[in-house]
Structure formats: structure tokens, C-alpha cells
Amino acid sequence: MPTRSLNAWLDHFIPAALHIPPKEWLRAGLGAVLGLLLAG
């Protein structure tokens, strides 16, 4: 992935991410991992 695209992606998602409480981050992370394990 080009650095320019990566930076644009980060610029888009980081501000929104900062408004998400840590517990929601943890829940989302666990959900993603479990989803990948179940899908795999």
C-alpha cells in the first residue's frame, strides 16, 4: 500500500477512533479476532 494512501486512511480513521472509548476498542478487537477464527 502506498504511503500516501496509508496516511490518508489514518487521517480519516484516527480522529473518529479517538472518540471511541477503550472498552469499545477492546470489544471490537476481540470481535474481529473471534470472527476471523470462526471464519477460518
Each residue's pLDDT tens digit, 6-38: 888 878 887 777 777 888 888 999 999 999 999
Q: Rounded distance, CA 35 to CA 40, Å?
A: 8
pLDDT at 1 over 60: no
Better-predicted residue by pLDDT, 37 or 4: 37
Contact residues for 25 (Cβ-Cβ < 8 A; gap 6+): 17
DSSP the chain: --HHHHHHHHHHHHHHHTTS-HHHHHHHHHHHHHHHHHH-
Rg of the chain in Å (alpha carbons)? 13
